[in-house]
């Protein structure tokens, strides 16, 4: 499918735009840049018009508008987001927010045996960090959503968590990218001393934002302009050094960010297991979840907000039907539509597999779950007697339910 994506990246003092065009002739990217934080707002639209003129396109030819959503400079993020929202609203286009740390990682030639840790200078002796991996099947994946760390904490943080990032990849290398390795030379020495690699001091670029946005566009991940927002990982951007020394700020999880749904990985399993134990009387084990990550036909997903897992779903594809095995939502985040988002995410995957019918089983006593599924269009097909184990050595019936996607779409 032809696509023309305008990408904006201004999370640093460098303001960049890229115009990615995918046609039958291939993919072409045009770029333009300007140095100077103070005039990003005045420069972006004229630079966009210049790129479109160079490509011989009208604004109406655009398919989507993308922007580097951060983390990064507060003013630059707001400007890029605001311009993207304005253009998308005027042209009735989706917006594709792209993590600026992921866009920095994506400048590397993705290798399946490497975990990429991006460390970006955040000023005041702090840095933003995120962790990413690449595979030929899935492209770029998030292993750790962006967090804010003191520079002195960074290596200890990596020591504590790197095993979860490389789970299932025993030969994986760890490479640290980003401008923090240049800004803090001692940090690079500490990284090398632990046997990890130090890569290029890259920051996000508009080209990599555009390339990642194309992947998201193909996955249907665009959002309405009013839902696009910058990614902040500080709850206050004007803390003084004295305030920081008193322990203020440094919030690693901005709670106003939208929930993201992505592939479940080994590093998620402890959080998933905690949710499962909180919502199921006879929960899956960690081994069960690990098997679903490695098994053929499984599709395991997590919903998270800034790295905190709030829910999960596990699906299994059969030759002619999709089976929903589990959906679990942390009780703290229930009744917010998260279960429905996880269900819709799985139904989209079901369609992509060429399947039209979903089946599931639910405990007969779980009236809340039965009502939820019925509200989503599932029909009750029957009862399987004494299927589930229950307390005190008893057994409980399973209610069999199914959904035909064509019926749901026609409703």
Which are the catalytic amino acids?
361, 373
Instruction: Tell me how far apart the alpha carbons of residues 50 and 368 are, in angstroms, rounded to a whole number.
Output: 55
Q: Is the dihedral of CA 38, 241, 252, 123 positive or negative?
A: positive
**Residue among 103, 198, 99 at smallest CA distance from 155:** 198
Query: Are residues 154 and 129 in contact, defined by beta-carbon separation less than 8 angstroms?
Result: yes
Bridge partners, residue 274, by sequence = none
Q: Which residue is listed with tokens 């779903």? A: 313
What are the residue ranges of helices labelled H in 58-130?
A: 74-91, 100-105
Give the total residue count for the chain: 411
d(CA 74, CA 72): 6
What is the C-alpha end-to-end distance of the chain, expressed in Å?
A: 28
Is residue 144 a contact partner of residue 185, using CB atoms and an 8 Å limit?
no
- State the burial class of residue 318 (Cβ atoms within 10 Å of its Cβ: 0-12, 13-18, 19+): exposed
Structure tokens at 133: 């991996």
Report residue 284 as tokens: 């899956």
Largest Cα separation within the chain, whole Å, is 74
**28: helix, strand or coil:** strand
- Long-range contact pairs involving 408-411 (C-beta distance under 8 Å, separation at least 24): 408/347, 408/376, 408/377, 411/377
Q: What is the dihedral of CA 180, 181, 186, 191, to 10 degrees?
A: 120
Helix/strand/coil for 130: strand
Q: Are 230 and 70 in contact (CB under 8 A)?
A: yes
């Amino acid at each position: 499918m032809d696509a023309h994506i305008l990408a904006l990246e201004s999370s640093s003092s460098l303001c960049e735009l890229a115009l990615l065009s995918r046609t039958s002739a291939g993919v072409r990217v045009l770029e333009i840049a300007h140095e100077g934080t103070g005039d990003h707002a005045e420069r972006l639209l004229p630079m966009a018009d210049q790129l479109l003129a160079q490509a011989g396109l009208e604004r109406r030819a655009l398919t989507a508008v993308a922007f580097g959503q951060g983390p990064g400079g507060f003013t630059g993020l707001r400007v890029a987001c605001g311009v993207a929202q304005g253009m998308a609203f005027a042209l009735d286009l989706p917006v594709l927010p792209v993590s600026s740390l992921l866009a920095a990682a994506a400048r590397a030639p993705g290798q399946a045996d490497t975990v990429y840790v991006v460390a970006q200078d955040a000023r005041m002796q702090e840095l933003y960090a995120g962790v990413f991996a690449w595979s030929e099947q899935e492209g770029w994946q998030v292993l750790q959503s962006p967090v804010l760390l003191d520079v002195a904490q960074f290596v200890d943080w990596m020591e504590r968590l790197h095993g979860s990032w490389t789970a299932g990849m025993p030969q994986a290398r760890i490479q640290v990218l980003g401008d923090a390795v240049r800004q803090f030379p001692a940090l690079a020495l500490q990284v090398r001393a632990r046997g990890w690699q130090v890569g290029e001091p890259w920051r996000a670029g508009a080209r990599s934002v555009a390339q990642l946005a194309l992947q998201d566009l193909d996955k249907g991940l665009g959002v309405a302009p009013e839902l696009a927002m910058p990614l902040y990982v500080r709850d206050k951007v004007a803390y003084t050094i004295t305030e920081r020394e008193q322990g203020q700020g440094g919030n690693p999880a901005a709670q106003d960010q939208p929930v993201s749904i992505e592939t479940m990985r080994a590093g998620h399993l402890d959080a998933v297991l905690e949710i499962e134990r909180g919502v199921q009387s006879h929960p899956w084990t960690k081994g069960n979840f690990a098997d679903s990550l490695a098994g053929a036909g499984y599709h395991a997903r997590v919903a998270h907000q800034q790295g905190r897992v709030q829910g999960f779903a596990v699906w299994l594809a059969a030759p002619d039907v999709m089976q929903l095995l589990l959906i679990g939502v942390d009780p703290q985040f229930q009744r917010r539509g998260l279960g429905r988002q996880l269900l819709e995410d799985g139904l989209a995957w079901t369609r992509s597999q060429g399947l039209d019918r979903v089946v599931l089983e639910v405990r007969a006593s779980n009236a809340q779950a039965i009502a939820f599924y019925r509200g989503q269009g599932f029909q009750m097909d029957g009862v399987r007697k004494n299927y589930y184990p229950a307390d005190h050595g008893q057994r409980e019936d399973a209610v069999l339910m199914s959904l035909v996607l064509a019926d749901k779409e026609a409703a």
